[in-house]
């Protein structure tokens, strides 16, 4: 079996994602992690993201052509993408009710859904 070690790099990357208010893109993760661990290389970030994803600790989210990552285990939620500042936030409310098994016109059997809202985040809306 595979022995997975605990390293400062992995801890820092996991912490960065744990503290985030929404899914982060790779450059954001690198930047934030480097402020805690200056020498960190991009290859390690990619390798760690892949590892954490396989372990189910984080989850990839694709939004506007960019792959972002967020900590797992935060329950059912969706995302809000600010059209002004470009940041992405996690929303804990869900605007749809689609029980697994719902059948859509045409015979599409729904197993899951994903919603993204676009608009202005509180900060941008205030300015």
Partner DNA sequence: CTACGTGCAAAGGTTTTGCATAGAG
Partner DNA sequence: CTCTATGCAAAACCTTTGCACGTAG
Interaction site with a copy of itself (CB under 8 A): 60, 62-67, 80, 83, 89, 91-93, 95-98, 104-122, 125-126
Nearer to DNA, 8 or 77 (CB): 8
Q: Concatenate the DSSP letters of all residues of 37-75 into one string.
A: STT--HHHHHHHHHHHHHTTSEEEEEETTEEEEEES-S-
Nearer to DNA, 4 or 97 (CB): 4
CB of 80 to a copy of itself, least distance (A): 5
Please give the Cα distance from 14 to 84 (Å, whole number): 28
94 labeled binding residue: no
Please give the Cα distance from 79 to 26 (Å, whole number): 17
Please give the Cα distance from 72 to 123 (Å, whole number): 26
Applying CB under 7 A, the residues found at the interface with DNA are 2-10, 26, 37, 39-44, 46-48, 50, 67
Please give the Cα distance from 33 to 9 (Å, whole number): 8
92 labeled binding residue: no
CB of 16 to DNA, least distance (A): 13
Nearer to a copy of itself, 55 or 67 (CB): 67
Structural contact between residues 17 and 70, judged by C-beta atoms closer than 8 angstroms: yes
Residues annotated within a binding site for Zn(2+): 82, 85, 121, 124
Residues annotated within a binding site: 76, 82, 85, 113, 121, 124
């Amino acid at each position: 079996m595979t022995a997975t070690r605990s390293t400062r790099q992995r801890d820092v990357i996991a912490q960065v994602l744990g503290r985030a208010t929404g899914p982060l893109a790779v450059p954001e993760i690198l930047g934030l992690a480097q402020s805690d661990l200056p020498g960190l290389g991009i290859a390690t970030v990619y390798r760690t993201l892949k590892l954490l994803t396989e372990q189910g600790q984080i989850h990839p989210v694709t939004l506007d052509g960019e792959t972002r990552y967020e900590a797992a285990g935060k329950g059912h939620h969706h995302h809000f993408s600010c059209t002004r500042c470009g940041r992405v936030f996690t929303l804990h409310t869900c605007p749809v009710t689609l029980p697994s098994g719902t059948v859509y016109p045409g015979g599409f059997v729904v197993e899951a859904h994903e919603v993204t809202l676009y608009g202005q985040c509180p900060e941008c809306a205030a300015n």
